[in-house]
Structure 1
Amino acid sequence: MAEVKLAAEVRTNFGKGAARQTRRENKVPAVIYGHGAEPQHVSLDSHALMMALKTPNVLLRLDVDGKDALVIPKAVQREAIRGFLVHVDFLAVRKGEKVSVELPIHTEGELAPGGNLLEYVLNTLPVEAEATHIPESVTVSIAGLDAGHTVQAKDIALPAGTTLDIDADAAVLQVVSAQAEAPAEEAAEGEGAEAAQA
């Protein structure tokens, strides 16, 4: 995984008012925590951080007043409508250290013919990985899968050095029959019509 370097400034003013002022300056308030140290309040350039966070579980090397801090994003708050960054929690990490992260799940291939539907039980896969070698995602082949098939966590090939952080038998994806969905939709439409008549 690529390492992204960003500059960060130490924040000494806290609270909603101070956070709003930080955002008015096109910066994002953030907190670095981990390894038993006191949380460190910082701010980062909004655009640079937004671009860095386009990569899931990106590894960031922050220059905090001349000192290096290796971190990964753990909680990202965005504005509901425009999606602007509001606040970020970073977890301090070290090389060789294992961390728990969630990897986006991508699929490849086509389901068996018949108009069946793929249902995501999980959108991300919880795993443990070495802090400086976190995969960006996992890919699952759904080629030829038919209705009734369930992909479990243990069925997904993980990158080297990565282990599951979830029950191996947990359902991740399942293929459902399009015909099974139709009656439920028709029933819902019928109820809507009855409600409209009432």
Structure 2
Amino acid sequence: MVLKAIQTSTRPIVREHISSISIGVVVSAGKMDRAVKVRVAGQQWHKKFRKSYASPNTHVVADPNNSLVEGDVVRIESGNRCSKTIRHVVHSIVAPFGSPATDRPPVLSQKERLDLRIKEKLLKDVRSATRGRQVSKVRLDMAKKRGYKIPSLEEAFRNVTLVETEEKASENDSIGAEVHEEQAGQVETAKERRREKGTETAEEKEVKE
């Protein structure tokens, strides 16, 4: 019954969230991939003094093309959850700092961001459909009827394979580092071994004489 309702419904492939737009300043850029920190001005009311004080809020904002630099005045849009900590996305650049906006990678428009979300959703549905998830199969059929391009299995699992390979490589590096630290205490120089045995080299004997 639920699958039939999904199949016959006219709702979009991805859910559209209620959003709001605010203006802020980029205070940190280049430290995270495709993400920046933006400070938005705000005020807080003090009950005792009955006065408003400055109380800015800092948000982690998605920057899909790494278009922003520190000092940019930007317009950000809420309601775009990209991860556990990112719920805002860059809407436009109000006043660039340093190099002009035309010399940087373009900021994605609302339509481009929607197309990117649909593409990521379909990639996830292809992976879920291979495991037998019926809702994903119905959504793929609905997307196909609406004219969306359905990704292949190779495209759907390409990023997953890359992530698994990187994780295995990092695990091997950490294991190798631990083994090296354990072996570091066992390695002794020839000079230390001679001192333990009480033997001296010809140069050390000459110095004593």
TM-score, normalised with respect to structure 2: 0.27
Structure having the larger proportion of residues in strand: 1
Structure having the larger proportion of residues in helix: 2
Kindly name which structure, 1 or 2, has the bigger radius of gyration based on alpha carbons. 2
